[in-house]
């Protein structure tokens, strides 16, 4: 059975202030009983140091003892030590903010370890909460008939929707062709040119990057749908509705209203020296909130071609099933890294828990739009389809406050 899209285990309505003593007394024993062995396996496989958490005057260390995860008072030798305020602890322990979100916001206080160790513990903590394993030596990628998946497969509307939905759940991504007319994306590209003069650095709805010659260029246009009737028509079309239905399969995916920030247009110039234009490996849920929102399906619409030679989207197959740490994806991935070269009008789909990155264009500018479908809300206060967009917007908010932080 492939993994279901709906992996939510927490609700916003249950959020509260959680202190460390409270967590250790009431939640940790059960989590450690259920998932401690998986955490211990991950610690051993990746040679992670113990994690010590300091809150106020107290400190506690999480470490492996054989196949168990234990917690003890004090700071163990060789531990990565993270100091959290009560509020930071409460957010972290409810999967609202990860260490990486705190690092990117330049708020994380730590010692005795490296960014790699922090990244390992961001994943190990998800293992503890969700039972999402860090390693799985027996992982297989099979189609509906038990044959090995062809990661290079490009699906068209003539393919069996059940095969497509299965591939997404098994591999964590898709490459689709034939859902958007290449002539339409040529018009979208003109709309991007026309819209650009309406964006200013610091306007809160665009991202900017610095080029080698010192000039600043707009690299991401939010609120783009209001400036592109062709884009709006794509998102309101029957093909798009078929796409939503096909990706959802047995799950319930919704589209947010075609307005405001439902889609963003990205311009990727070659020669960026600073700023978030091309993003290194990350999960869209990497800053937190996986347990509240995942998995949504993020859809990229190729406006120009993308290629190995000129930059493209790369995904880590199966990284929604195995919570391989981000820093490991960057340095020594142990799952297949798949490049998705696209033609104009092609779609890429990745789950919000799938590791992905964009490699920088080398020869010519690349353009792509990102939108997506979120899980149908379970709570009245959440707008239809907003959840996935909110997740993506968190990335944007944090990046805008630390504009040239690498490694997001
Ligand atoms: O630049 C890309 O193609 C990917 C962008 C991305 O992953 C994101 O905005 O979350
Ligand atoms: Fe992303």
| Residue nearest atom 10 of ligand 1, based on CA coordinates | 284
Q: Judge whether 44 lies within some domain.
A: yes
Q: Is the CB of 395 under 6 A from ligand 1?
A: yes
Per-residue confidence (pLDDT) for residue 404, from 0 to 100:
43
97 and 196 part of one domain = no
Domain that holds residue 65: 12-130
Q: Is the CB of 284 under 6 A from ligand 1?
A: yes
Per-residue confidence (pLDDT) for residue 237, from 0 to 100:
97
Q: Is the CB of 313 under 6 A from ligand 1?
A: yes
In the DSSP assignment, the letter for residue 362 is S
Q: Judge whether 408 lies within some domain.
A: no
Contacts of 27 by beta carbon, 8 Å cutoff, 6+ apart: 18, 93
Q: Is the CB of 277 under 6 A from ligand 1?
A: no
- CB of 368 closer than 8 Å to CB of 300: yes
Contacts of 278 by beta carbon, 8 Å cutoff, 6+ apart: 268, 272, 311, 357, 358, 359, 360, 361
The answer on pLDDT for 408 being more than 60 is: no
- CB of 299 closer than 8 Å to CB of 347: yes
Q: Judge whether 357 lies within some domain.
A: yes
> What is the crossing angle of helices 238-248 and 161-171, to 10°?
60
What integer best gives the mean pLDDT of the chain? 94
Nearest to 397 by CA among 261, 255, 234: 261
Instruction: Calculate the CA 45 to chain-centre distance.
Output: 23
Instruction: Calculate the CA 186 to chain-centre distance.
Output: 28
CATH number, domain of 275, equals 2.60.120.620
Q: Where are the beta strands (DSSP E) in 113-249?
A: 173-176, 206-211, 216-221
- CB of 64 closer than 8 Å to CB of 124: no
Q: Which two tokens stand for residue 283?
A: 């999960």
110 and 241 part of one domain = no
Q: Is the CB of 356 under 6 A from ligand 1?
A: yes
Per-residue confidence (pLDDT) for residue 392, from 0 to 100:
73
Q: Is the CB of 266 under 6 A from ligand 1?
A: yes
316 and 274 part of one domain = yes
309 and 375 part of one domain = yes
Of 130, 152, 185, the position where a domain reaches its end is: 130
Identify whether 279 is preceded by a cis peptide bond (ω within 30 of 0): no
Of 88, 108, 130, the position where a domain reaches its end is: 130
pLDDT tens figures, 31-78: 999 999 999 999 999 999 999 999 999 999 999 999 999 999 999 999
How many structural domains compose the chain?
A: 2
What are residue 201's phi and psi, to 5 degrees?
-60, 135
313 alpha carbon to ligand 1 midpoint, in Å?
8
The SS3 assignment for 12 reads: helix
116 and 230 part of one domain = no
Query: Average of pLDDT values for 213-232?
Result: 97
Q: Judge whether 84 lies within some domain.
A: yes
- CB of 363 closer than 8 Å to CB of 298: no
Per-residue confidence (pLDDT) for residue 380, from 0 to 100:
62
Q: Which two tokens stand for residue 273?
A: 């020296």
CA pair distance 89, 70, nearest whole angstrom: 19
Helix locations, 131-217, DSSP H: 161-171, 182-195
Radius of gyration of the chain measured on its C-alpha atoms: 21
357 alpha carbon to ligand 1 midpoint, in Å?
7
Per-residue confidence (pLDDT) for residue 267, from 0 to 100:
97
Question: Measured from the CA of 264, which atom of ligand 1 is nearest?
Answer: 9
Give the number of the ligand closest to the Cα of residue 303: 1
Of 107, 130, 153, the position where a domain reaches its end is: 130
Query: Average of pLDDT values for 87-98?
Result: 98
311 and 165 part of one domain = yes
- CB of 335 closer than 8 Å to CB of 172: no
Q: Which two tokens stand for residue 400?
A: 């805008």
Best of 313, 352, 392 for a ligand 1 pocket test (most atoms within 8 Å of beta carbon): 313
CA pair distance 136, 200, nearest whole angstrom: 47
């Amino acid at each position: 059975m492939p993994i279901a899209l709906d992996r939510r285990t927490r609700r916003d309505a249950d959020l509260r202030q959680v202190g460390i003593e409270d967590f250790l007394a009431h939640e940790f024993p059960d989590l450690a009983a259920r998932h401690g062995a998986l955490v211990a396996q991950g610690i051993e496989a990746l040679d992670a140091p113990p994690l010590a958490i300091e809150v106020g005057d107290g400190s506690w260390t999480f470490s492996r003892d054989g196949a168990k995860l234990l917690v003890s008072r004090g700071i163990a030798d060789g531990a990565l030590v993270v100091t959290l305020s009560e509020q930071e602890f409460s957010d972290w322990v409810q999967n609202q903010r990860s260490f990486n979100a705190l690092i990117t916001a330049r708020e994380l206080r730590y010692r005795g370890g490296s960014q790699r160790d922090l990244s390992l513990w961001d994943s190990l903590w998800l293992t503890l909460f969700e039972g999402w394993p860090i390693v799985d030596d027996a992982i297989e990628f099979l189609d509906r008939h038990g044959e090995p998946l062809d990661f290079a497969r490009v699906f068209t509307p003539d393919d069996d929707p059940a095969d497509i939905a299965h591939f997404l759940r098994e591999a964590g991504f898709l490459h689709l062709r034939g859902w958007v007319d290449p002539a339409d994306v040529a018009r979208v590209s003109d709309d991007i040119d026309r819209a650009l003069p309406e964006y200013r650095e610091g306007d809160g709805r665009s991202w900017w990057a610095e080029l080698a010659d010192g000039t600043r260029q707009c690299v991401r246009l939010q609120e783009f749908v209001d400036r592109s009737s062709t884009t709006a028509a794509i998102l309101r079309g029957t093909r798009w509705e078929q796409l939503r239905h096909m990706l959802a399969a047995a799950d319930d995916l919704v589209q947010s209203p075609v307005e405001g920030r439902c889609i963003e247009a990205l311009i990727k110039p070659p020669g960026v020296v600073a700023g978030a234009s091309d993003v290194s490996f990350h999960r869209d849920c990497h800053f937190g909130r996986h347990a509240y929102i995942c998995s949504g399906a993020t859809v990229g619409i190729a406006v120009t071609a993308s290629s190995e030679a000129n930059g493209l989207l790369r995904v880590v197959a199966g990284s929604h099933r195995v919570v391989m740490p981000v820093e490991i994806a960057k340095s020594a991935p142990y799952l297949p890294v798949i490049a998705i070269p696209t033609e104009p009008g092609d779609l890429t789909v990745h789950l919000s828990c799938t590791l992905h990155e964009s490699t920088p264009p080398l020869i010519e500018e690349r353009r792509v739009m990102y939108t997506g479908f979120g899980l149908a809300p379970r709570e009245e206060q959440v707008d239809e389809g907003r959840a996935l967009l909110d997740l993506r917007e968190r990335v944007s908010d944090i990046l805008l406050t630390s504009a040239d932080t690498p490694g997001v």
